[in-house]
Structure 1
Amino acid sequence: MKIHILGSAAGGGFPQWNCNCHNCAEVRRGNPSMQPRTQSSIAVSGDGERWILINASPDIGAQLAAFPAAQPAGDSVRGTGIHAVMLVDSQIDHTAGLLTLREHGRLRLYTTRSVHEDLTTGFPVIPMLEHYCGVDWREVAADDDAFQVDGVPELAFTAVPLTGKAPPYSPGRHAPRTGDNIGVLIHERSSGRQAFYAPGLGALDAGLIRRMADVDCLMVDGTFWREDEMLTTGTGSKHAADMGHLPLSGPDGLIAVLQRLPRPQKYLVHINNTNPVLDERSPEAEMLRRAGITAARDGMSLDV
């Protein structure tokens, strides 16, 4: 299977447009150890021609412009390699790009029921798109059963319920529903190889860790280095847990868990602009390298 990382930053991107934290200031100055990043999204394909977009960030226009496989092919006047869109949640940084896709032919959209509810009420993107391209919605059940995307027989997908946070506009913010946040397990039928994508991860349990241990490629939440990162950088008043993210550092952090998983290739996605791992020369980035973990960059292509 082929995976292309379209965007690897958290909401707001890197640098964030209104942020002058140390990292954002340095990347604007052209610090060579820091690379700009757009908001989190990947594309996955079994044949290299039909691509499934997982999350549609506000940066989707620039991301697709930098990804030739998504662009019109040959002598086509119009076209795209994007065959369908799948969403892991209803966060604005994962869904606002749907509006940019309004010129698409009828849009195949795969989401859980709770995400569909959010996108038809609190943030009514789906009703808006009905006036443009139209939406062919397919429900994704977060029940551990594999499903296929129509027209993509090479791959099977499983929605894995995760602990996280629904967006602030959602009724699920304070009354969580199964399906508010999922990870996506991607299985290539011919090879048996698997990848797991989870840009939002608020907690881990033994079952989820076992599942992560069995895949060949992990792309998981790298939002914050520290639980109190927003406070220590002066960029906000919330802790990582308040925002539905498990920090990387500490004895119970994500790095400690990932180090115990020898099989998968490990990539961090959804990296917040405040995270010190964005500086490739930082001690934190060196800790990642020693742990065998890569901070994903926009434009990375993975053959799994």
Structure 2
Amino acid sequence: MKVKVLGSSAGGGFPQWNCNCRNCDGVRKGTLAAQRRTQSSIAVSVDGVAWLLVNASPDILAQIAANPEMQPARHTRDTGIAAVLLMDAQIDHVTGLLMLRENSAPLPLYATDAVWQDLSTGFPIVSILSHYCGVERRLIDLDAGPCEIAALPGVRIEALPLSSKAPPYSPHRAAPQRGDNIGLLITAPGSGKRVFYAPGLGVLEPPVRDAMRSADLLLVDGTVWTSDEMIALGLSKKTAADMGHLAQTGPGGMIEVLDSLDRPNQRKVLIHINNTNPILIDDGPERRVLAQHGIEVAHDGMLFQL
């Protein structure tokens, strides 16, 4: 099974279009050792031809162009995207669906009932796409156990509900529902190896910790380095927890969590990295701290074989 990182940044990308923080300014001017990144998304495949797109970011067209395997060119109109799975209804994870409107057939779209509600009401992408290629609803049932997706024969996908809030435009923003946000535990055929993917992870409940401990590869929330990162820079009044993310440092932070898993040979990779996070600097001290803990930083185009 192949797992490819199409985008490794948080919403807004890196550099963010309207941000002049040290990171964004430095990468634009070439004064920092840092790579540009698009908004978070991964793709999963068994044969390298048919791919499950997990989250459709606003950068999807650039991501397809940067990854030729996503365009197998078997016909005059073709795509390697066989299906799409959404982990939430956040704008930076679903807007890319609009860019796929020229698809030659309805897009198989996997989502929980809570996410489907949001995409049918507060942000009615489903209705909009009905005037173009359309979508085929594929329900992610959180109580039905692992599911299989036709495009990925033999792959088992288990969705775990995460504690989170629905997007601001959701009708149930003030009343969170089970399934507003999910993590994925994906098991490869043959090898039985597992990847746990959760770009937005604010609270680690026991089933989530168990899933993380069982995985051979972790692709988990790397949004901010410190809890007050955005506040200290004068960019927000919200802490990491307010935004639904777990900071890397501090008591109970992601570094401490990953250290506690104690699984030999487990690859630990941070993804969904905000433009303000100093771990974006390749030769910075924060990177050295992560390396001491055996933690990697995702970049666009990163490929894993399980």
TM range (shorter): over 0.9
Q: Which runs of 4+ in 1 moved over 6 A?
A: none
Structure 1 contact 103–132 (Cα < 8 Å) conserved: yes
Cross-structure match for 2:178: 178
Structure 1 contact 159–182 (Cα < 8 Å) conserved: yes
| Aligned-partner Cα distance in 1 for 2:144–2:300 | 30
| Aligned-partner Cα distance in 2 for 1:292–1:158 | 26
CA shift for structure 1 position 207: 2.9
Equivalent residue letter for 1:42: I
| Aligned-partner Cα distance in 2 for 1:115–1:163 | 14
Structure 2 contact 52–151 (Cα < 8 Å) conserved: no
Cross-structure match for 1:237: 237
Residue 292 (structure 1) aligned with residue 291 (structure 2): no
Equivalent residue letter for 1:278: L
CA shift for structure 1 position 234: 1.5
* 182 and 144 in structure 1: CA distance in 2 versus 1, 3 angstrom threshold: farther
CA shift for structure 1 position 32: 4.9
| Aligned-partner Cα distance in 1 for 2:25–2:99 | 29
| Aligned-partner Cα distance in 1 for 2:2–2:185 | 14
- Report 1:111-190 matches (<5 A): 111-143=111-143, 145-190=145-190
| Aligned-partner Cα distance in 2 for 1:152–1:301 | 17
| CA RMSD, 1 decimal | 1.2
| Aligned-partner Cα distance in 1 for 2:248–2:139 | 32
Residue 34 (structure 1) aligned with residue 30 (structure 2): no
- Indicate the larger mover: 86-95 or 252-261: 252-261
The SS at the match of 2:128 is: helix
Structure 1 contact 230–237 (Cα < 8 Å) conserved: yes
| Aligned-partner Cα distance in 1 for 2:33–2:131 | 45
- Indicate the larger mover: 258-267 or 8-17: 258-267
- Indicate the larger mover: 228-237 or 110-119: 228-237
Cross-structure match for 2:91: 92
CA shift for structure 1 position 165: 2.2
CA shift for structure 1 position 169: 1.1
Structure 2 contact 51–151 (Cα < 8 Å) conserved: no
Cross-structure match for 1:59: 59
| Aligned-partner Cα distance in 2 for 1:144–1:39 | 30
| Aligned-partner Cα distance in 2 for 1:51–1:84 | 7
| Aligned-partner Cα distance in 1 for 2:172–2:296 | 32
Cross-structure match for 1:215: 215
- Indicate the larger mover: 202-211 or 276-285: 202-211
CA shift for structure 1 position 66: 0.7
Structure 1 contact 142–182 (Cα < 8 Å) conserved: no
Cross-structure match for 2:2: 2
CA shift for structure 1 position 259: 1.4
CA shift for structure 1 position 144: 6.3
Structure 1 contact 267–294 (Cα < 8 Å) conserved: yes
Cross-structure match for 1:303: 305
Structure 1 contact 120–127 (Cα < 8 Å) conserved: yes
| Aligned-partner Cα distance in 1 for 2:290–2:170 | 34
- Indicate the larger mover: 167-176 or 45-54: 167-176
Count residues in correspondence.
303
Cross-structure match for 1:11: 11
Instruction: Name structure 2 gaps, 5 residues minimum.
Output: none
The SS at the match of 1:27 is: helix
- Indicate the larger mover: 225-234 or 254-263: 254-263
Cross-structure match for 1:274: 276
The SS at the match of 2:242 is: helix
Structure 2 contact 26–32 (Cα < 8 Å) conserved: no
Cross-structure match for 1:253: 253
| Aligned-partner Cα distance in 2 for 1:24–1:157 | 36
CA shift for structure 1 position 21: 0.7
The SS at the match of 1:4 is: strand
TM-score (structure 1 length as normaliser): 0.97
Cross-structure match for 1:102: 101
Give a deviation string over 1:228-273, Cα, whole Å, max 9, x none. 1111111111111111111110121011110122342111110000
- Indicate the larger mover: 230-239 or 269-278: 230-239
Structure 1 contact 144–159 (Cα < 8 Å) conserved: no
Percent identical residues: 54
Give a deviation string over 1:206-246, Cα, whole Å, max 9, x none. 33212211111110000011111111111111111111111
CA shift for structure 1 position 168: 1.1
Structure 2 contact 225–278 (Cα < 8 Å) conserved: yes
Residue 80 (structure 1) aligned with residue 82 (structure 2): no
